[in-house]
Every structure is written in structure tokens, then in C-alpha cells.
Chain A
């Protein structure tokens, strides 16, 4: 069983996940047996920090599974709309919980939950990530984020093309992140009836195969996206000038959160 409040190094992650998998049943039963783990029905007190830990373990495991399943979509396996919606709702629920738990606090647990998501998101540790990322990302500037939903393998490459056009790499990162997520959201059927797809049919994205992309775009980039999923009032206000096709409002990343996360990761 894991100790309480112990800082986890990066290398311990896999052990942690293995332990979590092995003890899933136990933690789940503890979850079910008590209200927030304070007491079980027999009245025995469960150590609050232990139960919080197990709740966090489960949360982070579910978060990882959520993203993994959504990523499978990128690998070409089609997700049904029902499943996508259920996964995304679960993801949102977890994110809200994480946000309400640890806003502004840099605890080892929040570090765990963040770092547990992707093992190889080294690209996120860029020192040059700046706060003054322009509000409009290339995807939105095009006025049609839905065009990214051409097909699962192609979609991550579309924003990468934008990255070539715009030398500022930081802009393209959220765009790529958002686009890959939007494709998971769009799940190949969401926006299929939009005629705007036709505009982008002739873009040759054959050069930008997934395997050529930096790992961040394929795997690590989802994290900033999930932060930006919340209905953020500021984001909506800023994006009100965009086209009415409902393009990627969520791609306007909550910059303060991202910056904060970057600090955490860089420090670890």
C-alpha cells in the first residue's frame, strides 16, 4: 500500500500504476464502503489521508484510461458517438474535481495526476513556453475548426501544417492538441454534415504522417487540451469574434493554468 503524502519520482510512476491496477478492487471497495472515505458503514474510521489517496489513485487511473481510450480513436479505431460522449463527460468530471481540489497548490498528488497522464510529454517541458501566446490560434483563425475532422489519421497533420505557416511553435501546440481532441470529440460523425469540409478537401496532408510528428502532438498534447475543456467565461468572451461555426473555443487555452502546469513539470 502506498504511503501517505510521499512525493513520487517519475520513475515510480509505472510501479504506481501497476500497484493501482492490482489494488483496484480494494480501493474501489473502500470507495464504495464509505462516504468520501471518512467512515465505513461499520463505523470504523478509515484513515482520511489513505482514503483520499485511494480516491486520487482511482481518479488518476480513470483519467489515464479516459485519455487512452480517446487516443485510440486517433490510432484509427472508430469510437461510437455514445462512447465518446461518455468518455468526455467522465473526463470533464475528473478535471473539475482536480481543479477544485488543487487550484494553485502544488502538491505531490496533483503532480502525480498530471504526470501520470503521459510518460513522454517531454515536449511540454519547453522553457520557452510563454504566457503571451496570442489569443487566436491558427485553427480558429481559419474560421473553421471542424475542417480538422477529415479523418482520424489525417487530422493531427492539419494543425501541423498551420505550424509550418506560423513560426511560433507555441501557438501550434495548443492547436494540434485541440485539434486532436476535437477529432476525438467529433468522432467522425459530429460535424460530418458541414459543407465546410469541402473547402479543405484538396489540402495535401500526405507528408504529415502521424509517425513523423513529435510525440507531443500525437500523445502528449492532449493534456493541455483537457485543461481547456471547461467552459471558461474569459475564453468565450475572447472567442466571440470568431466565426459562428462554433470553432474551437476550447482551443483558447486557459493560459494561467497551462503556465502553472508548466512550472510544476519543469520543477519536477
Chain B
């Protein structure tokens, strides 16, 4: 795949935006997770109100083949409800922290969605046919006497009727009823998409769940909270294996928490988890039942010249993602994205600065709590490019081959159909060029924390507060 910047490479243009346009954003509508399924046909979003909305990619129309199809709402359901923990007098938020799709095995789609405490397996299935002709009613619509239904009688008078001989005996068999028994027929109906919870994995996490990840064996998955990681079987809800536990005996000695975890895409025994101190541990489940001892430990030595009060906070890793190949992994801390080779633990192979101009503003960002924002990151399908979000509704893409990067904005202003997105730039020096935006003008309330890249095509989904933007490349 070619690069992400302009020129001969792809040009990103606006495709769609979902969500209300109101200035007043309801807290419940804030999107909290975005995820494409394995084929890219479905795109799921979760919000703070505990709802999941799934969009489906419509096939391209034959009239306009140059347009990729659009994503339209496929299913909406309430995944989680707010709960109350009576023991601790705490509300358990219904906010969906993560959605992960299962690989499709039959006509139905399955996904895992989780809030702080409970993971649910949802089945999304289509129904476009309805059975009609149940023998429950007479021809004139009256409900039949059940007695007459269950005792089948051979009706010889009406040979066209489909006859089913029943072995049920009936006392009143002496009466010969012209009870015609018909086999129900399937009739087409309007497509109905149903979502039903198939499994509920509850009561396994004392702390807040931050990650779930489906294993490559498609039978197990892991869930991680601040201090523990559990391994589940998708069929078994009443127990899970605890595979990582970093809770100290004395809680006052706690200095580090788990921030994200992911299973290796191909090796079902390998997973990684990141910490608030900027370290990543790779564990092998074959080594021991409890993977407290890591197999590999990834940490970049700190640059002593840039040490400040905020060094630890900005080193806290907010997301970790394996590449599709499984050879690399990517971590996101507050100011940068780092690509690590799994075979090299002492430093990343690539580091990309997302918004280095914020380094001098760390104290203010600490004051308004923005320094604690958790940005996610994602790979494209071929692992040649990576994407992550920033403030002011900006998001950044980095081409690993050409080393070029681009900053784009998800805004209503640049939302004309198929309009090419103009690259944005933040001015860091004294002189501000035209079309540049100064650091002090950035809107820190408009943050892009969640982005997703289609597994095969150059289509991206960007969540900007309560709106979901879909951009695609311009096919010439």
C-alpha cells in the first residue's frame, strides 16, 4: 500500500459523519470505543451510555462504482446498564470501555463488550424470514382448541392437504374432524437484526477493566484491570484463570498499574501488558500458570535531560497494539507513539512524536487533567502506517516507510462529501504562518482518543466526542 500523505499517495477525503450536530453534547453520547470487525464489513462503536451501535458497509451501487459503499446503522442495543455496588457505595459506570469482535464462524456475528466490571458476549443475527401458517388459528382467525391441534387426525376427505400421521391417541377419536394440518411456510419479511447477550462474564474483576483481547485460538480471551489479568473461555462464565497479579501485599507499596493488554495475533500462548511506568511485559502462558514473571521486558531508558515532575505521568502507556504480522507492537504514551520489535527489549525501533509542542505545557495540562487522557493507536492493514489522535479534533498518521506524517482534522467544516482533507499544522515557533494554528488556540476539550483502521482497505473511523467520522482514500 502506498503512503498516507498527499501527492502520489492516498488522499484522505470525507465520507460520512454519524451523530448529532448539537453544540450541547449529552455525556451518554460520547463515544468511548470504535472497532472494525475482521472483514471490515461491520464497524462497532460503544458510548458512555452503555449503548453499542453497529454500522454495516453497504455494497457499492452499480451506478456509481467509484464511490465506496457507505456505512449505515445495522444494529443498536443497550449493552450495559449502570449498576450500584452496595458494598463500596459506588456506582459502576455503564460506559463501554472496549469492544472486540470474534472471528465470524457462521451467519451470526459475535462481539465482546465490556464496562468497568462485566464483559458480555453479544450475538448479532439477522432475521429476514418469518414462519407463517402455524396451525394455531382457524381459517377465520379463531384460536383453535389445543386439543384439536395436538391430536392429529388423518383427513381423508381433503387429499390436497399435507398429511402427517400422528401416533397420539385420543379418546374422542371417534369423531372424524376435518382438521387440516399444514406445515408452516417461511415468508420473507423486513430485515430484522437482533442482538442478544449469550454470555455474561461477571464478578471477576475487583478493579476497573481497561482491556479485553480475543486470543488467536478463538476459544479464549483475556481481560485486564488495573492490577490483574484473567483468561476466560468463551463458553464458561463461572470461572476464569488469573494469569497476572501485580497487587502488592501492602497496598501502600503500589506504584504501578496495568494500563493495557493484548494477545499476540498468531501465538495463542503469548500476550503483552503495559504499565503506568512506561514498561511493557511480554508473557508466555506455557511458562507458568501465573505469568507474574515476564518473558520479555520492554523499556526505553529515560533521557535524563528531559526529566521533570511529569516524566512518569507522560510515560504511562495508554494503549498497546500488536502489528497484524505479529512481529512488532506499538505503544502510545502521552506525547509519542513507539514501535517495538519483539526481539529487541531495550529500546523501540521507531518513535513518532504526536504533539511534542505540548511538552512545554505539561504543567497546565496537569492542572486541567488533560495529561491523564488515554489516547489509542492503530495499525493499517499492511502495518505500513499507524494512526493516533490528538487535541483540537486533530489526528495524526505516520507512514513507516517514507517517514512522512500528516495531521488531519475531524470537523464539520471539512465535511463536504468526498472533500479532500487539508493537512493541518500547529505552529510552535513565534511566527505563525497562515493556516497554522497556535498551541494556545488548541481546544483541549476536543480530543480524539479512539480511532480505527479498516483491516483491508484505506477506510478509517475517527471518534470525535459524540461524532463518528469516516474517511476514505480517493480512488482515482
Give me the interface of A with B, judged by CB distance under 8 Å.
Answer: 24-25, 28-29, 31-32, 35, 58-59, 61-62, 65, 69, 78, 80-83, 85-86, 88-90, 93-94, 146, 150-151, 182, 185-186, 188-193, 197, 246, 248-250
Query: Shortest 10 CB-CB distances between A and B: which pairs?
Result: A246-B250, A190-B251, A81-B226, A151-B89, A62-B309, A24-B363, A82-B257, A29-B360, A86-B313, A189-B207
- Complex CA gap A250/B207 in Å reads 24
CB distance from B359 to the nearest CB of A (A): 7
- Complex CA gap A89/B276 in Å reads 11
> Which of B87, B252, B276 has the most A CB atoms < 10 Å from its CB?
B252
- Complex CA gap A31/B307 in Å reads 10
Return chain A residues, CB-CB under 8 Å to B207.
Answer: 81, 189
18 contacts between A and B (CB under 8 A): A25-B361, A32-B306, A32-B359, A35-B305, A62-B309, A65-B366, A78-B90, A81-B226, A86-B312, A89-B312, A90-B312, A151-B88, A185-B254, A188-B90, A189-B207, A192-B206, A246-B252, A249-B250
* B309 A189 Cβ-Cβ under 8 A: no
Residue of B nearest to A83 (CB): B372
Known: A28-B360, A28-B363, A185-B252. A81 touches B257 (CB 8 A): yes
Verify if B362 is at the interface (C-beta below 8 Å from A).
yes
CB distance from A82 to the nearest CB of B (A): 5
CB distance from B259 to the nearest CB of A (A): 6
A-B pair count, CB < 8 Å, reads 94
Contacts of B207-254 to chain A: CB distance below 8 A: 207-208, 226-227, 249-252, 254
- Complex CA gap A226/B469 in Å reads 46
Known: A58-B363, A65-B366, A81-B226. A89 touches B255 (CB 8 A): yes
Residue of B nearest to A149 (CB): B88
- Complex CA gap A193/B245 in Å reads 14
Verify if B150 is at the interface (C-beta below 8 Å from A).
no
* B309 A85 Cβ-Cβ under 8 A: no
* B208 A80 Cβ-Cβ under 8 A: yes
- Complex CA gap A188/B89 in Å reads 9
* B276 A82 Cβ-Cβ under 8 A: yes
> Which of A29, A81, A90, A190 has the most B CB atoms < 10 Å from its CB?
A81
* A82 B305 Cβ-Cβ under 8 A: no
* B252 A65 Cβ-Cβ under 8 A: no
Contacts of B337-396 to chain A: CB distance below 8 A: 359-364, 366-367, 369, 372
- Complex CA gap A94/B310 in Å reads 11
Verify if B316 is at the interface (C-beta below 8 Å from A).
yes
Return chain A residues, CB-CB under 8 Å to B372.
Answer: 82-83, 86
New contact pairs (9) apart from A81-B226, A189-B206, CB-CB < 8 Å: A25-B360, A25-B364, A29-B360, A62-B366, A80-B226, A93-B309, A188-B88, A189-B207, A246-B252
- Complex CA gap A94/B361 in Å reads 19
* A90 B310 Cβ-Cβ under 8 A: yes
Verify if B256 is at the interface (C-beta below 8 Å from A).
yes
Verify if B308 is at the interface (C-beta below 8 Å from A).
yes
- Complex CA gap A154/B316 in Å reads 32
> Which of B207, B208, B309, B310 has the most A CB atoms < 10 Å from its CB?
B309
CB distance from A61 to the nearest CB of B (A): 7
- Complex CA gap A24/B308 in Å reads 14
CB distance from A77 to the nearest CB of B (A): 11
Known: A81-B207, A189-B207. A31 touches B90 (CB 8 A): no
- Complex CA gap A249/B88 in Å reads 24
CB distance from A32 to the nearest CB of B (A): 6
* A24 B312 Cβ-Cβ under 8 A: no
* A85 B363 Cβ-Cβ under 8 A: no
Return chain A residues, CB-CB under 8 Å to B250.
Answer: 246, 249
Known: A28-B361, A90-B312. A85 touches B257 (CB 8 A): yes
* B208 A85 Cβ-Cβ under 8 A: no
- Complex CA gap A94/B311 in Å reads 12
Return chain A residues, CB-CB under 8 Å to B364.
Answer: 24-25
Return chain B residues, CB-CB under 8 Å to A93.
Answer: 309, 312
Return chain B residues, CB-CB under 8 Å to A25.
Answer: 360-361, 364
- Complex CA gap A249/B226 in Å reads 24
Return chain B residues, CB-CB under 8 Å to A88.
Answer: 255
Return chain B residues, CB-CB under 8 Å to A28.
Answer: 360-363
CB distance from B302 to the nearest CB of A (A): 13
- Complex CA gap A193/B359 in Å reads 39
- Complex CA gap A254/B88 in Å reads 32
Return chain A residues, CB-CB under 8 Å to B256.
Answer: 85
- Complex CA gap A65/B368 in Å reads 10
CB distance from B184 to the nearest CB of A (A): 53
Return chain B residues, CB-CB under 8 Å to A146.
Answer: 251
* B251 A246 Cβ-Cβ under 8 A: yes
Residue of B nearest to A82 (CB): B257
Residue of B nearest to A59 (CB): B309
> Which of B310, B364, B366 has the most A CB atoms < 10 Å from its CB?
B366
- Complex CA gap A180/B430 in Å reads 46
- Complex CA gap A32/B255 in Å reads 26
* A182 B252 Cβ-Cβ under 8 A: yes
* B360 A189 Cβ-Cβ under 8 A: no
Residue of B nearest to A178 (CB): B252
Return chain A residues, CB-CB under 8 Å to B369.
Answer: 69
Return chain B residues, CB-CB under 8 Å to A35.
Answer: 305
* B206 A193 Cβ-Cβ under 8 A: yes
Residue of B nearest to A58 (CB): B363
Return chain A residues, CB-CB under 8 Å to B257.
Answer: 81-82, 85
Return chain A residues, CB-CB under 8 Å to B251.
Answer: 146, 185-186, 190-191, 246
CB distance from B109 to the nearest CB of A (A): 32
* B208 A189 Cβ-Cβ under 8 A: yes
CB distance from B250 to the nearest CB of A (A): 3
Return chain B residues, CB-CB under 8 Å to A190.
Answer: 251, 254
- Complex CA gap A176/B237 in Å reads 42
* B254 A85 Cβ-Cβ under 8 A: yes
* A189 B226 Cβ-Cβ under 8 A: yes
Residue of B nearest to A186 (CB): B251
CB distance from B358 to the nearest CB of A (A): 11
* A32 B360 Cβ-Cβ under 8 A: yes
* B309 A94 Cβ-Cβ under 8 A: yes
